[in-house]
Amino acid sequence: MNPVLCGDISQNIPLFYIHENVFGSLYRKTTFIDILLGQKPRLYISYRITGENDFSDVSRFITKLSPYFVCINPFSIKDWGLVTKYDSFLEVSAKAEVMDIEIEYQDGRKKFTDFPVREIASAIDQIRTQIVQRDLQIITCTHATVIYHNSAEPSYGVMNELIHSVTNVSHPVYVIYPFKKRLSPFFEHYILVNKNLITGNSDIKALEDKALEMMLEDYPNWPTWSSVT
């Protein structure tokens, strides 16, 4: 959120700040209204994206949380889809000049044909940097981070978001992890600070309910939420 200075000194009109909000078009309208009203705590939903195709569990969990919290889903902005498509394309067609890109949106798949590879190549570094900077800034603007770790495999992005949440902005973090195999000790190092690891080899929906129950009990005492209520 970047403040914009408004007003006209020559006419003695008071100066004031307007905060710009970047809002993904794939969010529900109710999410936009909730952000404007500011009556619900905001959650950053962190989960493994690379190599995954089915996000129905994450969507169900967000629907479950939404009556009580504003859920910020980083994958609502599809620039990471462009990055992965470009990387995959280079592996098989490094010399081609154009490529087709197909990205899954809420209203279905959209295909962009004959996209100049040169244009993507010239912007790919900025796009990759933008993804990291934007997601970390979004975390800063929320009140807690929820990690939906529905994969036994690690994720660089999830790990980075965890470290940022704990060390840089001191946010509470809740982790849903439905496996017997323990997480990396480096991951656990940051989670055990919060003691909010919801784990067990049980139905993922039961773990979701447990996480929701914990957050509903805890949120009045979240540092950045309690300071504005």
pLDDT tens-digit map of 18-49: 455 566 666 777 888 888 888 999 999 999 98
Tokens of 226: 């309690």
Rounded average pLDDT over 177-201: 85
Do residues 121 and 94 lie in contact, with contact meaning Cβ atoms separated by under 8 Å?
no
Whether 120 has a pLDDT exceeding 70, the answer reads: yes
Instruction: State which of 1-5, 121-125, 143-147 shows the largest mean pLDDT.
Output: 143-147
Q: How far apart are CA 197 and CA 188, in angstroms?
A: 9
Q: How far apart are CA 149 and CA 213, in angstroms?
A: 18
Rounded average pLDDT over 135-159: 93
Q: Which pLDDT score is estimated for 78?
A: 72
Q: Which pLDDT score is estimated for 25?
A: 62
- What is the torsional sign of CA 78, 80, 83, 87? negative
Q: What is the DSSP letter of 117?
A: H
Q: Which pLDDT score is estimated for 6?
A: 39
208: burial class by Cβ within 10 Å (0-12, 13-18, 19+)?
Answer: buried
Rounded average pLDDT over 209-216: 96
- Mean pLDDT, all residues of the chain: 83
Domains of the chain in sequence order: 28-77+131-220 (3.40.50.450)
Whether 5 has a pLDDT exceeding 60, the answer reads: no
Q: Which pLDDT score is estimated for 28?
A: 72
Whether 169 has a pLDDT exceeding 90, the answer reads: yes
- Site of tokens 């017997």: 180
Q: How far apart are CA 66 and CA 229, in angstroms?
A: 19
Residue 104 host element (H or E): strand 98-105
Alpha helices in the chain (DSSP H): 29-37, 56-65, 79-92, 117-140, 156-163, 185-194, 204-218, 223-226
